Amino acid sequence: MQGLIRVAIDGPSGAGKSTIAKAVAKELGLDYIDTGAMYRACGYKMLREGIEAVSSDPLRDMLGRTDIDFSGGSVFLDGENVDDMIRTPEVTKMASACSALPEVRAKLVELQRAIGSRKNVIMDGRDIGTNVLPDAEFKIFLTATPEERAKRRYEEMIAKGMEADYDQVLADINKRDYDDSHRELDPLKKADDAEEVDTTYMSIEEVRDHILNKIKNA
């Protein structure tokens, strides 16, 4: 294929976006860009600096001296690898809250577009096909029922030795779905030209192969 290949994967939390995107990236030699990790890194920095999730001068000042990038599959905040810091419940809440702020979205979308303009990428998030890379060559919208997504997240937490309560995980997923799809700016939404893939009854390999076939047969 000629030119840049950009694959946009959007969908709600727990639909399997990152697992699938990583698998496809590996097969096709694309760079995987986890845009949720960028909102998490931003939220982490806000928590560390005591900055509230509202539009303010301290927030704008902080964003002016923030760089977030990927290398070797890890996310770097101002040069520091923050992979291990950004998956806590506190950061998860802050990432969701800060992702509704116009200053934060403007900054991160600019960084994401810059990354997408210089290399072959598979980027996952909520607004990649609709807003970040509207011209992406391939767009997939991954879904699964909230119950299935809660089950996957619950099993992942248990496997990692974390404490987990299924009902709580389901409640958190429902709340995040609501917040992500009802916020004013770039809400979670399927792009008109994206293909919706319901993964509720599909294995990871089936979803991966479906996307690989779509790209290889294009």
Considering only the stretches 62-70, 71-79, 113-121, 122-130, report the one whose residues sit in contact with ligand DC under the rule CB under 6 A: 122-130
Nearer to ligand DC, 126 or 139 (CB): 126
Closest CA to 163 of 174, 154, 150: 154
**Complex with ligand DC: residue 127 or 149, whichever CB lies closer:** 127
Segment near ligand DC (CB under 6 A); pick from 46-54, 74-82, 119-127, 162-170:
119-127
For residue 77, how many other CB atoms are within 10 A of its CB?
21
Cα–Cα distance for residue pair 97/109, rounded to 1 Å:
16
Query: What is the DSSP code (8-state) at residue 131?
Result: I
Q: For ligand DC, which residue of 13, 130, 143, 199 counts as binding (CB under 6 A)? A: 13
From residue 151, give the alpha-carbon distance in Å to each of 21, 23, 134: 20, 21, 32
Applying CB under 6 A, what is the total number of residues that bind ligand DC? 15
Strands (E), 64-137: 68-71, 74-77, 80-81, 121-125
How many other C-beta atoms lie within 10 A of the C-beta of residue 190? Answer: 17
36 counts as binding ligand DC under rule CB under 6 A: yes
Closest separation in Å from C-beta 106 to ligand DC: 12
Task: Kindly state whether residue 180 participates in binding ligand DC, applying the rule CB under 6 A.
Answer: yes
The site string for ligand DC over 39-58 (x = CB under 6 A, - otherwise) reads xx------------------
Give the binding range for ligand DC (CB under 6 A) out of 44-52, 68-76, 94-102, 140-148. 94-102
Six-digit token string for 51: 């900055």
Residue from 96, 130, 143, 199 that binds ligand DC (CB under 6 A)? 96
Which one of 6, 11, 32, 35 is in contact with ligand DC (CB under 6 A)? 35
Neighbours of 204 (CB within 10 A): 12
How far apart CA 16 and CA 14 sit, in angstroms, is 5
Q: Residue 5 has which token pair?
A: 């290949």
Residue from the set 176, 194, 197, 215 that interacts with ligand DC by CB under 6 A: 176
Query: Which tokens hold the place of 85?
Result: 């810091």
**Which is nearer to ligand DC, 1 or 54 (by Cβ)?**
54
Distance of closest approach, residue 84 Cβ to ligand DC, in angstroms:
14
Confirm if 133 and 123 have CB atoms less than 8 A apart.
Answer: yes
Q: How far is the CB of 205 from ligand DC (least distance, A)?
A: 22
